[in-house]
Structure formats: C-alpha cells, structure tokens
Structure 1
Amino acid sequence: MKPALFLLPCLLASCTLTGGPVKSVPSSGTLPFSEAVQVGQTLYLSGQLGLDAQGQLVPGGVRAETLQALSNIEATLTRQGYRREHLVKCMVMLRDMKDFAAMNEVYGSWMRRPYPVRSTFGGADLALNANVEIECVAAR
C-alpha cells in the first residue's frame, strides 16, 4: 500500500512515514488547528483567508482577499522552507461562485507553471464572512 493511505492514522499517532516524521506548525492564534503539518516532504497547509497582519479581512472584495490569502500561503511556505513552485494541490472555497472569474484572474497571475491541480467550490458561509478561502498542499 502507498504511504498516503496511512496518512490519517499517522497524523493521529505521530508515526513516521517514508521521508520523515510528522511535524506540526501551530497556528499563531488560539484556534484548535495547525498552520501546517509536514509529513515527509509533503506540507499540508490549513485554509487561508485574506487576513492582514492584524487578523482583519483586507478591504476590496474577492480580488484583494484572494491576493492576501495567496500572500499568506507564500509566507507559510517560506517559513517552512518551501516555495510556491512546490504547490501541487489547492482547493478554493468561494462564498459566491459569481466571484469565480475575479478570483481566477488573481490566482492565475500569482501561480507559476506548472500549475498545481485545483478544485473550486462555493459555500454559503466562510469564516469571518470572508469571500474566499484557499487551502494548499506542497511537496518537494
């Protein structure tokens, strides 16, 4: 069986997979999740909103929030020794699918080829009344 099939039990037990132990990076706040979890050479990032350094949604709607969320992702990648070129999978959640084109324009200009695979879906409510949330996986 491939190591990825054992991911959840390993995360729960902090076991070692091919490539190294599970390493968790706590979030900067008091919320009960990690900013990122590294398993071997794969880095799983929690979803990012378009929050500024003070934890407030940036003004300007979905375009500004998308750019800020991507900047937050890049900051997390950098802190963990990864680059945006290491991104292999992203999931974008939009409060309103009518914002798809605007989000996609910002996302497309920020990402580098080869683009990571991506899923995009709409949801009625996102945390903090955000317009967009982006979650990614990076691998070396």
Structure 2
Amino acid sequence: MPWESHFGFSQALQAGETLYISGQLSHDEAGAFVGADDFELQVRTTFANLDKVLRQFGASRDQVVETTALIVDLRRNFEVLARLHAEYFAEHRPTSTVMGVVALVLPEQLVEIGAVVRLDLEA
C-alpha cells in the first residue's frame, strides 16, 4: 500500500515461524478507503485484506493465533465485530484483544485489525 513507505512500516513481517501483520483496514487494491459509515462493510473488507496478506505468506486463517481490533464507538459496534470475527474464523478460536478508540488514522475509518500468525501450525 502507498502509505507503507510514507509511515515507515510493512504490512507484515516474518520473524522465524511467526508472522506479525500490521493493522488492516477497509481499502481497495488502489488503497482507496471503502465503506464510509458502514461498520459491517469495513470489517468484512478488513478481513478480506487480512486474507490477502495471509496468502502472500502461504498462510491461512487457521494459523492466526492472535488478533487485535481497534474500534471507534466500541459500545455501538462491538456486537457486529464479535459476530463477524466468529464468522471469519469459524471453528478456529485465536486469542483476541478488542479496544475502543476515539479515532483511527482516516477520518471515516471505524475499525483496524492486526494479527499474529504461527506459520509452523498446520493450515
């Protein structure tokens, strides 16, 4: 994404058999934000972007061991996030931390989700 070099970070970094994935957000292939004022669409697009990063490393959702979600207006949006998180991971149950925040980087951004992945787990 264009903002990686601007802010000096990577979408993901592999250290041994552990993959650290930066907070993903709701954007298209060109980096344009998707889903203003639509929390569910933002979460679904964020998880789709997480899938893209996983694929780049030959990893799958079943290898995710931890997620961290930052949410604007936590009380209003938590139940939607919880439902979509459970849907995304199905029977797999990674650890998860959810934090309410006042704002995220983009003015319309309501959610950001990062992950830690163990590549040595069976996919």
TM-score by length of 1: 0.76
The separation in 2 between residues aligned to 1:28 and 1:110, in whole angstroms, is 27
* Aligned counterparts, 1:27-66, within 5 A: 29=3, 30=5, 31-59=7-35, 61-66=38-43
- Secondary structure in 2 aligned to 1:92? strand
- Secondary structure in 1 aligned to 2:23? coil
The runs of at least 4 aligned residues of structure 1 exceeding 2 Å deviation read 27-31
Q: 1:113 to 1:28 in 2, by over 3 A?
A: farther
* 2:59 paired residue among 61, 74, 82: 82
The separation in 2 between residues aligned to 1:43 and 1:124, in whole angstroms, is 28
Opposite residue 115 of structure 2, the aligned amino acid is C
CA offset digits 1:8-60 (Å, max 9, x no partner): xxxxxxxxxxxxxxxxxxx5543310111111111000000111112122126
How many pairs were matched up?
Answer: 114
* Aligned counterparts, 1:65-104, within 5 A: 65-97=42-74, 98-104=76-82
Question: Once the 2 structures are TM-superposed, how far is the Cα of residue 120 of structure 1 from its aligned partner?
Answer: 0.3
Question: Once the 2 structures are TM-superposed, how far is the Cα of residue 112 of structure 1 from its aligned partner?
Answer: 3.0
Opposite residue 128 of structure 1, the aligned amino acid is L
- Give ranges in structure 2 of 5+ residues lacking alignment: none
* 1:121 paired residue among 95, 99, 102: 99
Question: Once the 2 structures are TM-superposed, how far is the Cα of residue 114 of structure 1 from its aligned partner?
Answer: 2.5
CA contact (8 A) 1:94 1:132 kept: yes
The separation in 2 between residues aligned to 1:54 and 1:46, in whole angstroms, is 18
- Give ranges in structure 1 of 5+ residues lacking alignment: 1-26
Larger radius of gyration: 1
Opposite residue 105 of structure 2, the aligned amino acid is A
Higher relative contact order (CA 8 A, sep 6+): 2
Over the residues paired in the alignment, what is the CA RMSD in angstroms? 1.4
